[in-house]
Structure 1
């Protein structure tokens, strides 16, 4: 087995671990849940304090005209450039993932009148499925379900078999939340577009961990959260992408003053703004956007390709430890072993795993748990060391 200290010594991104905030009474020896909630940066704490003192307290209401009004767009453009492969004026930061899913999916099905089907898979994240169920009920649509293996994910051939001239929208996750399966976005888009359907992708488990090329892949719409690998903090605002050539065609349904062509006219009737601003509705969560500035600076410096390389190295190491220590103790690996099809986390399954959560936490090891009987090992590339993965899985081994 490779020595974790040697792997850490050879890690070109090792220095980034020092950028994360570690309180004096920190009791965690292995944080393996970066795919659910990222750790805060030292720079984030300083930025938050500075924002409160100088911008909020110092500028008060003037902050809106200073720069806050533009943050959903300027942060969106930066996120698009650093992590999403999206040109300017296609990404906004606003609302929650659920709200943005609703906005974009409703706009998409309304833009394909006469088409009655929405294509999705049975193992997609619950919010995605629930939102589409609600939209189908509102608009009298039919949900067309593709059954996916919880240990894998959606395949282009499955989409080809299910999509047809009656399909308005297909919605899948780039990285499956349960297994970590990395979907062939470009391939699925080509199949859906050939049938005349719009494509929408949930990037919540890939943004900041896996290189994304929305423009190059021909994605129509996308959403994602910022509190996982983007370290935005609990409940941080989500992002939405709407391809430039669709912005005059799709109209999101939650018409608020911030998405109006002239927010402060406050006149009768709603007239959507041009470009990505039309995706906005109400007052943006400015305070909650502050941490993204720090993380995008860090991600831009590290480079998403280097982050991906480290991510694959961490999950490959986790798999090797699982094979040696855990599989002989009845644990099954239910994530892709092919690096080309694996996102940033690995899922292990064994009956009774839920009962191990408390003893793991008591020993300072924090993985994630997903029913039935799945422990997700999600090492965040910029904050997690190989030694940390080794420590966490050794504790799991000892408990088993």
Structure 2
């Protein structure tokens, strides 16, 4: 990579990328939000000489928000108050006086606009895996008895596949894995429900939520969507698409923190039929009645199970403050511009033939990450991390870079591509 190390007189292609990154960052309407996160200084985007760990270590470029979002500055003060006052002083009174009891639904209503849902359809709690199980089994129970098939993306995130297989065994259904692009066409008269990823975790491919949902409905099947890699990175329109059920995590693009509780969406007209396979005292119509027979609560609380995980719920609540007033159209525009710019920088700086993007070029098919096929991906990502560019990799050969529009800069994208180029040259 000769340009950065020995630039000729005048504006080189590399200098042009630097100038463009600066201009894009200056004009970014979301740029002020970066100050609401605890991030290292960005460090120099353009070192004067060859990259080395000491030089690149001056600040971290964090491109792993698709695995764990950054900490927002409002979380620690909120948790300090929760621990010291609500738990430490009020203790049991906080279930009522501090609103702990209603937190799962209240915080669900805060997430609802980010996934295109009206209030009263989301409940927050449990893990994504547990909510996938609830949603898929409940979907199968809502389907006519003669429908004995569950469809699942053949390349889905492993847990989704494991749970789909367990749900099939539990309900006496047949599980049929099919390529994600073929799920809509594969649905037929035997299909009860399909579990579909909105964005593929390996490649970043975005699937058409509205079109796939419509095709499943046309076949008489229900659609269960996994939004883990889309919510908070791009607009999601659950209500407009008529999606039946959906689940998602909150620790990626929603920045809720490690192990933050997930959410479950049940379309309003389906709620009276939602038969959870995990009924608990918290989802009972009269939880403190301690009745021996289960009577489900009305509405979203049917998705609850046990005692809410208050500390992590309220950390998430504080993290969601960052989203107040944010325009999701601007988030999507920046996500696409960032990933476009990163791909352009990689093409310009990384030696030809050493990496290949498996992320779709078409905007309509792209989430908010870029995945590059690369030999020795684990070794390369380890070296990138040592030099201050944090992404991740998936075996055997994929480098993953997640672009979180609320805090990622265009200068970060350029620096990541430059350091990647140096690392690739060093492994030649």
**Same fold? TM cut 0.5:** yes
C-alpha separation in 2, matches of 1:295 and 1:309? 22
| 1:139 is aligned to 2:163 | no
Residue 35 of structure 2 is matched in structure 1 by 18
Higher mean Cα deviation, 198-207 or 297-306? 297-306
Residue 203 of structure 2 is matched in structure 1 by 179
| 1:351 is aligned to 2:350 | no
Higher mean Cα deviation, 122-131 or 228-237? 122-131
Q: Is the 8 A contact 1:116 1:142 kept in 2?
A: yes
What are the within-5 Å matches in structure 2 for residues 72-111 of structure 1?
72-81=104-113, 83-111=114-142
Could you report, residue by residue, the CA deviation over 1:231-263 in whole angstroms, capped at 9, with x for unpaired residues? 000000000000011111120011110000011
Residue 396 of structure 2 is matched in structure 1 by 372
Taking a change above 3 Å as real, the CA distance of residues 27 and 126 of structure 1, as seen in their structure-2 partners, is farther
Residue 85 of structure 2 is matched in structure 1 by 54
Deviation of the 1:296 alpha carbon: 2.2
C-alpha separation in 2, matches of 1:274 and 1:231? 30
C-alpha separation in 2, matches of 1:126 and 1:137? 17
Q: What's the secondary structure of 2:385's corresponding residue?
A: helix
C-alpha separation in 1, matches of 2:380 and 2:396? 14
List structure 1 segments (4+ residues) > 3 angstroms apart after TM superposition.
none
| 1:296 is aligned to 2:320 | yes
Among candidates 362, 387, 391, match of residue 386 of structure 2: 362
Among candidates 296, 301, 325, match of residue 349 of structure 2: 325
Q: Is the 8 A contact 1:28 1:366 kept in 2?
A: no
Q: Is the 8 A contact 2:105 2:120 kept in 1?
A: yes
CA RMSD of aligned residues (A): 1.5
Q: What's the secondary structure of 1:108's corresponding residue?
A: helix
Rg: which structure is higher? 2
Unaligned runs of 5+ in 2: 1-15, 42-56
C-alpha separation in 2, matches of 1:23 and 1:349? 28
Q: Is the 8 A contact 1:231 1:291 kept in 2?
A: no
C-alpha separation in 2, matches of 1:22 and 1:136? 43
Among candidates 45, 64, 75, match of residue 76 of structure 2: 45
The number of equivalent residue pairs is 390
Among candidates 147, 153, 156, match of residue 124 of structure 1: 156
| 1:253 is aligned to 2:277 | yes
Residue 150 of structure 1 is matched in structure 2 by none
Among candidates 263, 266, 269, match of residue 242 of structure 1: 266
How does the TM-score come out when normalised to structure 1?
Answer: 0.94
Taking a change above 3 Å as real, the CA distance of residues 23 and 340 of structure 1, as seen in their structure-2 partners, is closer
C-alpha separation in 2, matches of 1:336 and 1:23? 30
Could you report, residue by residue, the CA deviation over 1:156-205 in whole angstroms, capped at 9, with x for unpaired residues? xx234311111000111111111111111111111111111110100000
Deviation of the 1:300 alpha carbon: 2.5
Deviation of the 1:285 alpha carbon: 0.7
Residue 26 of structure 2 is matched in structure 1 by 9
How does the TM-score come out when normalised to structure 2?
Answer: 0.88
Higher mean Cα deviation, 94-103 or 327-336? 327-336
Q: What's the secondary structure of 1:278's corresponding residue?
A: helix
Residue 306 of structure 2 is matched in structure 1 by 282
Q: What's the secondary structure of 2:344's corresponding residue?
A: helix
Q: What's the secondary structure of 2:233's corresponding residue?
A: coil
Q: Is the 8 A contact 2:39 2:70 kept in 1?
A: no
Q: Is the 8 A contact 1:368 1:375 kept in 2?
A: yes
Q: What's the secondary structure of 1:105's corresponding residue?
A: helix
C-alpha separation in 2, matches of 1:326 and 1:8? 23
Deviation of the 1:28 alpha carbon: 4.4
Higher mean Cα deviation, 108-117 or 71-80? 108-117
Deviation of the 1:384 alpha carbon: 1.0
Deviation of the 1:293 alpha carbon: 2.1
C-alpha separation in 1, matches of 2:301 and 2:351? 50
Q: What's the secondary structure of 2:406's corresponding residue?
A: coil
Q: Is the 8 A contact 1:89 1:275 kept in 2?
A: yes
Deviation of the 1:292 alpha carbon: 2.2
Deviation of the 1:107 alpha carbon: 0.9
